[in-house]
Structure 1
Amino acid sequence: MNNKVPSCILFLLLLGSMAYAQPTRQHNLHFSTLAKTWDEGIPLGNGMLGALIWQKEGKLRFSLDRADLWDLRPMKGLDRPEFRYRWVDEQARKKDYGIVQEYFDAPYEEQPAPCKIPGGALEFDTNGWGPATDVELDIKTAVCQVKWQNGVTLKTFVHATQPVGWFRFEHIGANFVPQLQAPKYAGNKQQAAGGSVDGDDLARLGYKQGTVNGNGQTIIYRQEGWGGFQYEIAVTWKRTATNTVKGTWSISSHYPGTAASIPATTVVKQTIAHTYANDYTQHKDWWQHYWQQSAIQLPDSLIEKQWYLEQYKFGSAARSNTPVITLQAVWTADNGRLPPWKGDVHNDLNTQLSYWPAYSANHLEEASSYTNWLGKTKAISKKYTQQYFESPGINVPGVQTMDGQPMGGWIQYSCSPTVSAWLSQHFYWQWKYSMDSSFLRKQAWPWVKETAQFLEKVTQKNAAGQRQLPISSSPEMNDNDISAWFRQNTNYDLSLMKYAFTVAADMAHSLSLPQEEAHWRSILAELPPLAVSGNQELMVTPAMAYTHSHRHFSHMMSIYPLGLIRWENGPADQAIIRNSIHLLDSIGPSAWCGYSYAWLANMKARAHDGEGAANALRIFAKAFCLPNSFHANGDQTKSGYSGFTYRPFTLEGNFAFASGVQEMLLQSYAGYIHLFPAVPDSWKSLAFEKLRTEGAFLVSARRSGRQTTEVEIVAEKGGKATLLLPFKTWIAAKEKGVKSKKVKDGWMEITFEKGGSILLKNGYE
């Protein structure tokens, strides 16, 4: 109902409209000393280049990295004729599984490569400067500033759009000669393998040690890797005043038969001719635009700060034209070893979780790095699909190199038949959140269609006429044992197949392809129902309940992220969601990792459990993150939040955390806009700006005294939005390009022109 409000009240309401916000200093990383280990360094990056700023053995150190520095030698054993899904099935049936592990799993642990490799490091002798007294990362500008006791000041950044890093020292003495430190590739090649968590010694790669050469105020390091791969690091500097030095660094790479990047020596020489101020302005402008895309204001300072730090890291790790976010992105280990789990492309959950927050946080351009990379490596994935599954269509290795080649490992998951089905969700989200018809037609639909074609081909009908996989698994239930294979569809595989066929039908409908739509709906109907216990709890398989703590909530995929089981569907689905989460909580977190808590927060938000979601996020932030906000997998507080207390750094937990916050504030997956669906009662006042929903709507909203006070919706592409009205009485304080509004039973259906907007404010009776 539309109520009239006195003009003075209306004026005050309008003053409270959405205000543009960016991160403030309270969101920054701020320390009184430099970190003493690489994984606690200050992170800088632009999707291709990265740096960590820390102190090693009394020297200031920049650990330098580039996303495409890889040893791409083929994983041993994957060229065997036995590398077939059918052959693995046969060995599992014969209970002769040791040979499968020997051929296709063991090499991942035994061989140092293929793997991500580090770049090198810049070191600066700070002897005589005294200790560092102030270290700050300004996430608003992506600049790290360090101050020393004697007055020396450093400002450094990785340029947001160019392949170069800058540093500027002020109040510095006459002696200034940085050192370029090469990774120690030379050494004993027979070093014992460190394992996938600790990483092998770099010497096991067998490289001839590269050379470091100085030429005046320029230093160049060149390193040759496997198969003719080469990379180059260059640094140059000059004194611009009696007490000021500016410098630049870059890394370039070259693979035989491919176009080389611009040599690092050329980049630094061209860049040093610029003014620091000019490049800084370009850099700052990019970040200002990035931060304008969305913002939040929460009464919980821990969760709010962590969210901003996750958005910062995402902006540092992704660009539309850079490789996919790997386990550590552009912050490869600088400890003389290979990174945890080889720093590879893990489609077990790591890549998928890393992009969860991008869509509703309104960072679609950065999110496109994932779908663009999948498109670039599609031909290799199709070749793998034909080789391993002997099937047309497309599936993707669960563990990949940068160029898309399979790497083996626990083969149930590294060669899972439903990897592409999960990846299809990112094509679907990129389309639904953008409503980009060209993307749908040229990229999303071909990918999803070929995924569905593969799944149709690889499944078989049982005696009951239901489709099932020959053998199925559920990451990472029973780890790498033969018992990790199941003869019934796991809920993990089944949920993903249901999702893939559903999305294929949805896309076909949008493209006016009725025969395609009908076909995929008929295939969908042949899948059995999800396995649910008598207590209405999701099971691992129809014969296996969830009975012990496990880090990967693979059996609950249908709740989140797939949304096949929805709170909005009513009591039956609500019971499954409520009971499945209760079972998860009651069995406990002894085998959870940090990302488990971040994932749990997303599920609890879908269950409209604001207190539960917020609690999971708080535990993640305080117990599973290093001081620089990096997710360290294990419980760093040793407070019983997990039996894992180790600290391998990976990024997926960080980004899933941000997604969990956004799910608490706004949901649209059920076909309508739901404001503050999972906000704790203790959060009396909060706001968000320009979060994105499906349908390409940008939404801003404010809440005060536990009541929503206003909501603004901007229709980027036009179209129809359905809003669950968050207040009983309201006024349309501002409208532009609104064709119609229909209000009924607490819902508002708004039809917009392209670029149209509406501002609704809480009225009173």
Structure 2
Amino acid sequence: MIDANLDWASFLGRHDLTWSVKPVSWDEGAFIGNGWIGAMAYSEEHRLKRNVLRFVLGRTDVTAKRPAGGYPPRVPIGELHLELAGWLYQPYSMRLDLWNAELRAEIATTAGSVKLRAFVHGREMAMAVELETSGSEESAAFQWYPYPEVDPILKNADGYNLNPYIPESEVIRSLRNGIHIGTETFKPAGSGGCTTAWIERKLAAASAGYDERRVLLLSIQNGSDETAVQKAVEVVKHAGGQPWDEWVKSHRSWWHAYFPQSFVSIPDTMLEGFYWIQMYKLASTTRAEGMIMDNQGPWMTSTPWPGVWFNMNVQMAYSPVYASNRLDIGLSLTKAFSERFDQLILNVPETFRADSAGLGRSCSYDLAANVDDEKGNLLWVCHNIWRQYRHSMDDKLLKELLYPLLQRAVQYHVHLLEEGDDGKLHLPPTISPEYGSFLKLTVPDAHYDLALLRWGCETLLRISERMEQVEADKAERGAGRRMWAEVLERLTPLPTDETGYMIGRGQPLEFGHRHFSHLMAVFPLHLVSGEAEEEKRLILRSLRHWLSREGDLRGFTFTGAASIAAVLGLGDEALTYLKSLVHLLKPNTMYKEAGPVIESPLAGAESIQDMLLQSWGEWIRIFPAVPGEWRDTVFHDLRTEGAFLVSAIRSNGETKWIRVKSLAGEPCRLITDMNGRVGLRAAEGKAVLRELGGGRFELDIARGGEAILYAEAAASGAQLADDLSLQIRPVPAEPRLCGYFGGRKPWRLFGLSLSANAGSLVDEIVK
């Protein structure tokens, strides 16, 4: 029914990351990755290193065991350098091509020029750097350096490495059938290691103006034993044995299938570009079979957090996966928790292990993190798994992972409940994440834990009802239902005062708080909706008080605030928070505090989704919080709870039509601001629309069915297709904000002329 034949190369091309001045830090670098292997490319200003283009390498599963104990952290593994004959100079033209997931550059040096293309293959564990040279740059050479051998000048330029543990290592270089091998074995023995293998090969004729063309192919494997060496060598050998153009085509084909899974276009060109860079970042960071998204993805650099954090970071990193219809990315999270289910049981005290499970704040990929005063982290992860289920309606996921895991996470909290003098059930003092961290502050009835426990009990009741539909009920399920219902009935209310939601009982929000842990009931749990006037006032009062304290506000503060404002339908306010976030991002859209933390920009992508489409509480909300200045907006195949694909067009401030496709045959309830009478068109008439009033509708549609709702005023005749455009096309872009990210370009925000005719601008100034 819909024409979604988009020119993806052109559309994404307007948001490619671009550099006209060489990047000289991780904050400005060009990043490439395939979910396992990654590289951040940038240069250096030190006079002894101005001839070097660095590819700082990473592989997400390379960790090192610490002799003194503690979780095994991620560790830096080394760099690939392009060492040129001359200094990197101006002009400098570099572009990260999103559609093809390739870095391309044309670089002038004091000795000649070079042209390069780099990517990490979308389907294979190999990285490629294609190089063309001219003049004296024929002598340009690739050099591999394990981390211990990286020049101190470059390490100093990156800043003091706050990684709590960097192991000593033994490095052995060897050559096998023309393939170079570097094995790095961490000390003491048994601590881990990694293997890098690479080969150079010449390619066919170079481009006009260049004399030579060659390519370096490189693979990184976790481990330094013979098995790892063989894997690395085989990957490089296979890559080198393929016709170059065919191998590149295979890489691109993965990405060309990935991006069109959904489409979003908004009139804010800078934010539109930011959104699509996050979609690129998601698939560069992990894949269905990959590791959990940790704090830095495959772009390891100096950090105090070389692990996996669960009091916000992981949950927020995965947050844009669901609505964007990229559920394969979310499988990396469900896979990890399914494979390490037994470890989650071991994380709670032995007396609770018969029926409970939990997760501490931080750990490695083994999920070995004993629960301390911060109790609710596993429940929050369960909420992500719930979202994965609700957007897929995969009953196998529900039965085999979510239901048993959520029961144990809830039961751990039930063990902690105590009856108070008021007859209510209360929680003992626990940590509300990020509030009073240095004071090690704990509070009774913390909003964070109470809200998560309430959500967990409500969700278990709902799951139990669902499972009765797919299999026979069991006696113990009935007992569980009675307990969850009793907890909900007797659980103490969320603490509030005149400023709104409190951190916990007796603890108001007294100073700056970067986390929304005291607002979990609003977002992301949606226990309160703001539909009732009193509830809306409470949420709004809480939101305004939270931001008014200023203090330690961070990137994820503003993503949470934007999504909360979107819950209330405050699109203009949500946009203000998102624009605040952009000012805290690095030029390449990465985010860093004491070290890199990947979740804040990714959560910013979810905030944009929340402005366009929300699905919670059994309702799908179309354009629920569109800012007034977004007069024209379009999205296609965003996914909702109940496994619906939704497309919609907003033109001149009015919703023109909505397309709904059912993937699972679930009940469909919609909220829209569509003006006037709403018409329905469905294939073979296999859909029924019932208007409930107030912009609410029920749509009966079978699995695989597709229907279009449209404002009848927008279609005057009997043939909808003749009167209403059903085309999905991008919103026109503002040229000065295309290619905004990459190198730092703050002047573009202020509308400075980008005309090639600079003289006309001078004339205007003189006049």
Interval of TM-score (by shorter of Structure 1 and Structure 2): 0.7 to 0.9
Contact 1:317 1:330 in 2 (8 A): yes
Q: Give the SS at the match of 1:340.
A: coil
Cα distance change on mapping 1:238 and 1:352 into 2, 3 Å: same
Deviation readout 1:415-445 (Å, 9 max, x if unpaired): x221111111011101111111111111211
Equivalent AA in structure 1 for residue 667 of structure 2: K
Q: Which amino acid aligns with 1:42?
A: A
2: distance between equivalents of 1:744 and 1:186?
Answer: 66
Identity between Structure 1 and Structure 2 (%): 23
How much does 1:348 deviate? 1.4
SS at match of 1:356: coil
User: 3-state SS of the aligned residue for 1:719?
Assistant: coil
CA distance in 2, matches of 1:628, 1:396: 32
| Distance change (3 Å), C-alpha of 1:276 and 1:585 | same
The match for 1:66 is: 59
Q: Residues 353 and 656 of structure 1 are in contact (CA less than 8 Å); yes or no, is this contact kept in structure 2?
A: yes
Question: Among 448, 467, 491, which residue is 1:511 paired with?
Answer: 467
Label 1:449 to 1:75 Cα distance change in 2 as closer, same or farther (>3 A).
farther
Residues 130 and 651 (structure 1 numbering): CA distance in 2 closer, same or farther, change over 3 Å?
A: closer
Q: What does the per-residue CA deviation read over 1:67-112, in whole Å, with 9 as the maximum and x for residues that have no partner?
A: 1111133764x7xxxxxxxxxxxxxxxxxxxxxxxxxxxxxxxxxx
- The correspondence of residues 717-736 of structure 1 with structure 2, limited to 5 A, is 717-727=664-674, 728-735=676-683
**Take 1:518 and 1:260, find their aligned partners in 2: how far apart are those partners?**
52
Q: CA deviation at 1:266?
A: 2.1
- Alignment partner of 2:575: what SS? helix
- For 1:387 and 1:278, how far apart are their aligned partners in 2? 56
Matched residue, 1:676: 623
Q: CA deviation at 1:518?
A: 3.4
For 1:456 and 1:201, locate their aligned partners in 2 and report how far apart those are by CA, in whole Å: 37
1:265 shift after superposition: 2.1
Shift of 1:761: 2.1
The match for 1:630 is 590
Q: Distance in 2 between matches of 1:187 and 1:465?
A: 66
1:291-302 pair list within 5 angstroms: 291-302=259-270
SS at match of 2:616: coil
Please give the alpha-carbon distance, in whole angstroms, between the structure 2 residues aligned to 1:162 and 1:572: 55
Q: Is 1:244 paired with 2:204?
A: no
Among 386, 391, 403, which residue is 1:428 paired with? 386
Report the 3-state secondary structure (helix = DSSP H, G, I; strand = E; otherwise coil) of the residue aligned with 2:195: strand
Distance 1:479 1:163, change over 3 A: same
Q: 1:116 to 1:496 in 2, by over 3 A?
A: same
The correspondence for 1:481, drawn from 439, 461, 468, is 439
Distance 1:75 1:668 in 2: 47
| Corresponding residue of 2:15 | 27
Report if aligned partners of 2:345, 2:353 keep a CA contact under 8 Å in 1. no
Find the aligned partners of 1:739 and 1:551 in 2 and give their Cα distance.
46
Alignment of 1:106-255 (within 5 A): 114-128=72-86, 131=89, 133-149=92-108, 150-171=112-133, 174-184=138-148, 199-200=161-162, 205-213=166-174, 218-226=179-187, 227-241=190-204, 243-254=212-223
Q: Is residue 2:14 matched to residue 1:54?
A: no
User: Aligned partners of 2:429, 2:163: CA distance in 1, in Å?
Assistant: 36
- For 2:680 and 2:148, locate their aligned partners in 1 and report how far apart those are by CA, in whole Å: 65
Q: Distance in 2 between matches of 1:661 and 1:326?
A: 22
- Structure 2: distance between partners of 1:692 and 1:753: 16
Taking a change above 3 Å as real, the CA distance of residues 738 and 519 of structure 1, as seen in their structure-2 partners, is farther
Aligned residue number for residue 406 of structure 1? 369
User: Quick one: which of 747, 750, 756 aligns to 2:696?
Assistant: 747
Whichever residue aligns with residue 155 of structure 1, its letter is: R
Partner residue, 1:323:
291
Matches within 5 A, 1:531-546: 531-535=495-499, 537-546=500-509
Change (3 A) 1:201 1:632: closer
1:354 and 1:302, CA in 2 relative to 1: closer, same or farther beyond 3 A?
same
Pairing 1:309-320 to 2, within 5 Å after superposition: 309-320=277-288
Greater alpha carbon shift after TM alignment, 298-307 vs 30-39: 30-39
Task: Tell me the distance in 2 between the aligned counterparts of 1:463 and 1:475.
Answer: 27
Name the structure 1 match of 2:208. Answer: none
Which range moved further: 124-133 or 31-40? Answer: 124-133
1:626 is displaced (CA, Å) by 1.2
| 1:385-400 to 2 correspondences below 5 Å | 385-387=348-350, 392-400=355-363
Shift of 1:706: 0.7
Give the secondary-structure state (helix, strand or coil) at the position aligned to 1:755. coil
Deviation at 1:508? 1.0
1:282 to 244, 247, 250: 250
Determine the C-alpha separation between the residues in 2 that align with 1:577 and 1:592: 19
Pair 266,447 (structure 1): closer, same or farther in 2 beyond 3 Å: same
Shift of 1:407: 8.0
* Secondary structure of 1:71 counterpart: coil
Distance 1:439 1:736 in 2: 33
Aligned residue identity for 1:531: P
Instruction: Kindly state the Cα deviation for residue 469 of structure 1 after the two structures are TM-superposed.
Output: 2.9
Contact 2:54 2:81 in 1 (8 A): yes
Q: Does 1:608 align with 2:601?
A: no
Q: 8 Å contact 1:381–1:394 — kept in the other structure?
A: yes
| Paired amino acid for 2:707 | I
Counterpart CA distance in 1 for 2:685 and 2:512 is: 52
Q: TM (normalized to structure 2)? A: 0.84
In structure 2, C-alpha distance between the alignment counterparts of 1:160 and 1:140, rounded to whole Å: 12
The residue aligned with 1:527 is 491
Q: Which amino acid aligns with 1:211?
A: I
Change in 2 beyond 3 A, CA 1:443/1:407:
closer
| Alignment partners' CA distance in 2, 1:352 and 1:75 | 29
CA distance in 2, matches of 1:201, 1:428: 33
The superposition leaves residues 474-529 of structure 1 with CA deviations (integer Å, 9 ceiling, x where unpaired) of 112211425x122x211111111111111111111110146133332222222110
User: How much has 1:198 moved relative to structure 2?
Assistant: 5.6
Once residues 525 and 480 of structure 1 are traced to their aligned partners in structure 2, the CA distance between those partners, rounded to angstroms, is 35
The SS at the match of 1:118 is: coil
Aligned length: 678
CA distance in 1 between counterparts of 2:687 and 2:652 reads 32
Deviation at 1:181, TM superposition (A): 0.8
1:110: which partner in 2?
none
Matched, 1:37 2:52: no
CA distance in 1, matches of 2:580, 2:420: 45
Separation of aligned partners in 1, 2:183 and 2:292: 25
Aligned to 1:273: 241
Residues 648, 479 of structure 1: alpha-carbon distance in 2 compared, 3 angstrom cutoff: same
Amino acid at match of 1:308: W
Cα 1:281–1:388, aligned 2, differ >3 Å: closer, same or farther?
A: farther
Tell me, what secondary structure is at the counterpart of 1:212? strand
Unaligned runs of 5+ in 1: 1-13, 79-112, 189-193, 334-338, 634-646
Q: 2: CA distance between counterparts of 1:586 and 1:527?
A: 30
Change (3 A) 1:277 1:407: farther
- Residues 272 and 509 (structure 1), Cα distance of their counterparts in 2 relative to 1, 3 Å cut: same
Secondary structure at 2:386 match in 1: helix
Indicate conservation of the 8 Å contact 1:712/1:758, yes or no. yes
Deviation at 1:206, TM superposition (A): 4.3
In the alignment, the residues of structure 2 paired with residue 228 and residue 43 of structure 1 have an alpha-carbon distance, to the nearest angstrom, of: 28
Which residue type is aligned with residue 546 of structure 2?
L
Q: Which amino acid aligns with 2:292?
A: V
User: How do 1:76-115 and structure 2 match up within 5 A?
Assistant: 76=69, 114-115=72-73
Q: CA offset at residue 688 of structure 1?
A: 0.9
Q: 1:375 aligns with which of 338, 341, 345?
A: 338
Counterpart amino acid of residue 528 in structure 1: T
When residues 20 and 435 of structure 1 are mapped into structure 2, their CA distance, relative to the original with a 3 A threshold, is farther
Q: Give 1:707's aligned residue.
A: 654
